[in-house]
């Protein structure tokens, strides 16, 4: 498996290359570069199977390089920091990433995923989601939901609510569409933080745009615009009410 590493920090590039050479002998490091321009030349020259790509580079976003190379014929593992908004965009777009400083265990997990057979069409769908999310000025626009049959690109604004079912999550969308995903609701609570979809109960996420009112009786619950009632956990009540109030004045 040939790989190219694009990161503007030489120590990060070198660490990844050293770990790959020391622990993954079947991966050949073809080039180490630090910019979009250099990365483009390296990818065109070596035609890698795998690209390690920093989110922010001196001459633009890493995604700008992918747009220049579209349609991509390789897997991409993004390199990013803990604090970056881009990390949320990458997560909801179902793309792989490793965090700085580079950890061998995380690197190995990302490489295992990269070895899986993948569809170029699915990869393009994920990159489309990422493009829209990065352009959203810190407001997530799209999320990739992986079902047993396919990847589905969903507008966050179309999500009415999500409900937990053990290790599955049921998404209920505008228009009556229902999607079941084999990930926990906790995962999506983290991914969708700040997108207008809030945790109101251990088993429920709700889109603020679809809330009609909060009813105080019977322990407190939300009445949605479609007439559905959703319980509110007592320990989340103040947080939910504050989120509703803040949303009204946005």
**Residue 137: predicted pLDDT:** 60
Tokens of 39: 């990365």
Class of domain 155-248: mainly beta
Count the neighbouring beta carbons within 10 Å of the beta carbon of residue 40: 16
**Residue 25: predicted pLDDT:** 93
Mean pLDDT by 10 residues, the chain (250 residues): 96 97 95 97 96 92 88 90 73 86 94 80 82 73 87 93 95 96 92 90 96 91 96 94 85
**Residue 250: predicted pLDDT:** 63
Residue with tokens 């079912």: 165
Q: Give the CATH fold of the 2-134 domain.
A: Rossmann fold (3.40.50)
Domain ranges in the chain are 2-134, 155-248
Q: How far is CA 225 from CA 8, 105, 143, 217, 247, in A?
A: 48, 45, 23, 18, 16
Q: What is the pTM of this model?
A: 0.72
**Residue 117: predicted pLDDT:** 64
Q: Are domains 2-134 and 155-248 of this chain identical in fold?
A: no
Cβ(210)–Cβ(198) below 8 Å: no
């Amino acid at each position: 498996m040939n790989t190219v590493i694009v990161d503007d920090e030489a120590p990060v590039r070198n660490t990844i290359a050293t770990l790959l050479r020391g622990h993954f002998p079947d991966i050949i490091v073809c080039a180490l570069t630090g910019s979009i321009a250099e990365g483009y030349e390296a990818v065109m020259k070596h035609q890698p199977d795998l690209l390690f790509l920093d989110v922010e580079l001196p001459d633009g976003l890493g995604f700008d390089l992918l747009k220049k190379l579209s349609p991509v014929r390789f897997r991409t593992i993004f390199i990013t920091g803990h604090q970056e908004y881009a990390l949320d965009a990458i997560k909801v777009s179902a793309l792989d990433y490793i965090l700085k400083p580079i950890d061998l265990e995380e690197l190995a997990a990302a490489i295992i995923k990269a070895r899986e057979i993948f569809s170029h069409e699915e990869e393009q769908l994920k990159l489309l989601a990422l493009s829209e999310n990065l352009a959203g000025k810190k407001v997530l626009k799209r999320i990739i939901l992986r079902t047993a049959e396919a990847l589905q690109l969903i507008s966050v604004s179309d999500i009415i609510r999500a409900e937990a079912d053990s290790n599955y999550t049921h998404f209920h969308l505008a228009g009556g569409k229902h999607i079941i995903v084999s990930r926990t609701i906790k995962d999506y609570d983290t991914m969708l933080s700040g997108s207008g979809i809030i945790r109101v109960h251990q088993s429920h996420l709700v889109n603020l745009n679809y809330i009609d009112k909060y009813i105080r009786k019977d322990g407190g619950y939300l009445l949605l615009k479609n007439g559905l009632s959703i319980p509110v956990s007592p320990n989340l009540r103040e947080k939910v009410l504050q989120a509703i109030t803040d949303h009204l004045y946005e």
